[in-house]
Amino acid sequence: MRMALLGPPGAGKGTQASRICQTFDLVHLSSGDILRSEKMAGTPLGLRIRDFIDNGLLVPDHLMIELMQEKILGLAKGFVLDGYPRTLNQAQALNRMLFEVHRPLMLVLNFVVDPEVLSRRFEGRRICPECLTAYHIDSMPPKVAGFCDLDGKALIIREDDLPDVVRKRIETYQETMAPVIAFYAQLGNFKTVNTSGSFKDVTRMVLDKIRRHFEDF
């Protein structure tokens, strides 16, 4: 299976992508996580992209296309893209690249979420600075409040989850994603799912949608 998840920041792409990958044995490629770990490690790429991320702006297409192309081509099995593509240029480049290697996307799942649900989700979001696992203080709390279940590190609020940056990220998403959604809707193998519900309900709905899609594929 090769699929991409589209949706605004806070729509649950990251958490659902992990679930999908566990269920169907796929690799989770989150462009945001890849960029954040470059930034935290202070690599040359990390230094170039730091200001874009911290201000909620998109990293330039040429950097993203090269970075994600390398990651995708290095995979030996199916994958779920989360946060990529984010612009029409990225979508077209991805489509060309996957077509050339005879591994086109088999499903694009578009997550939509009610605006008031989105703001509530951001307020409680926390991540582990070490392994980047995401939590929510209400809907997905860690076993011990404030600490990562996996490595015990103290959880933090992502710099780009601060309210002003979130507002900018959502605006940017709305501006740049409309043509991407139109592009995939016209290609086919495109489905929309409303992810405003609880984590459990959304997971059930998402996994059902994927199973049904691949039964008919």
Active site (catalytic) residues? 13, 86, 125, 158, 169
Instruction: Report DSSP state, residue 78.
Output: -
Which residues of the shown chain bind ligand AMP in the complex (CB under 6 A)?
Answer: 9, 31-32, 35, 52-53, 56-59, 64, 83-86, 90, 160, 169
Per the listing, tokens 């059902």 go with 208
**Cα–Cα distance between 46 and 148 in angstroms, integer?**
24
Output 27 or 213, the one with its CB closest to ligand AMP: 27
Output 24 or 52, the one with its CB closest to ligand AMP: 52
Report the run of H or E that residue 94 belongs to, with start and end.
helix 88-100
* Least distance from ligand AMP to the Cβ atom of residue 27, Å: 16
* Least distance from ligand AMP to the Cβ atom of residue 125, Å: 11
Output 54 or 138, the one with its CB closest to ligand AMP: 54
* Least distance from ligand AMP to the Cβ atom of residue 216, Å: 29
| Sign for the pseudo-dihedral over CA of 62, 64, 68, 70 | positive
* Least distance from ligand AMP to the Cβ atom of residue 45, Å: 12
Per the listing, tokens 């989360």 go with 82
Output 42 or 152, the one with its CB closest to ligand AMP: 42
Q: List the beta strands (DSSP E) in 130-189.
A: 134-136
Helix (H), strand (E) counts: the chain: 8, 7
